[in-house]
Amino acid sequence: MRFFSQLFRRFREHDIIRISGSVAFQLILSIVPCLLFVTWLLQILGFQPKTALLSAEISHWLPDGFIPLTETLLSVLNQTEHPTGWALAGLALAAWSGSSGFSAIIKGLLTAYRVKKHPSFLVIRLRSVILMITFGLIMSAAFSLVSDGEQFLTVFLHLPFGQVLIPFFQWSAGWLLVFTAVAFLYVFAPSLNLTLKSVLPGSFLFSVSWVFSTWGLNEILAYLVVFKQTLNVLGSTALLMIWMYLTSLLLLAGGEINAIKRNRVQSEKRRK
């Protein structure tokens, strides 16, 4: 009980609710310009992405309610020619919005560890860009493994229970990559010479709760038949906001748990 009361007090003192909303808003702002740049890049390379295929792949990454939003965005972007200037502007806007979200995460983690003197704006922004790219690459690998990993695991089809082993290895490896990505973020974002062992509780909490919360949101939507029938772009955007907010909240909560553990370890060392 003492741990939960301490965690609840930290939520109030460090304003986790507000910071989570800010992170979610900044990350959502980066989606449309990022899709603009990606579709332009695919067109330059000679690919003609199929909207249904891309939206199906994205549905593996995010809750099911976002398919109308992604289909609408991708169909509009695929039907237009994107000048290089607009595409590069989209990339710049996506990088700025995404790095702003990661900057808020860094500041939230610094607050969790009660670091009074924060680095300069440029240092935090540069660190957030590096973390955003690295975190995004690892998470993309996890999403791709979950959605298309069965083609790399066909060797298990010849084994007993192969149909069961393939999804098990897919989701296990995907979860491990998510765990690795968030552990990397917890270690390097605060820049406090943290060890991997010190961030294991928060990393485990986030990776498990994030997977189950995404699954739970999908299950809730499956029962809301009336809502799903009337789901449009506006409803999909609202669902995306909820999911992003929940993800940000869990991420910052994991950081607070790591900070609580670190304070306890330091207190025990001082007593000795």
Q: What is the pLDDT of residues 140-191, one digit of tens each?
A: 777 666 655 555 555 555 555 556 666 677 677 778 888 998 999 999 998 8
What pLDDT is stored for residue 264 in this prediction? 85
Q: What distance lies between CA 96 and its chain's CA centroid?
A: 16
Q: Which of 207, 188, 217 is nearest to 250 (CA)?
A: 207
Residue 203 structural domain: 2-271
Residue whose pair of structure tokens reads 């910052």 in the numeric block: 252
pTM for the model: 0.79
The residue type at 67: I
Structure tokens at 180: 């690795």
The residue type at 179: F
48: left (phi over 0), alpha (psi -120 to 50) or beta: beta
Number of domains the chain is built from:
1
* Average pLDDT value for residue range 13-23: 91
Give the DSSP letter string of 77-112. HHTS---HHHHHHHHHHHHHHHHHHHHHHHHHHHHH
Q: Which of 23, 16, 259 is nearest to 135 (CA)?
A: 23
Name the DSSP letter for residue 50.
Answer: -
Query: ∠ at Cα 245 (242, 247), nearest 5°?
Result: 110
* Average pLDDT value for residue range 74-78: 60
67, pLDDT greater than 70: no
Rounded to the nearest 5 percent, the helix, strand and coil shares of the chain are 85, 0, 15
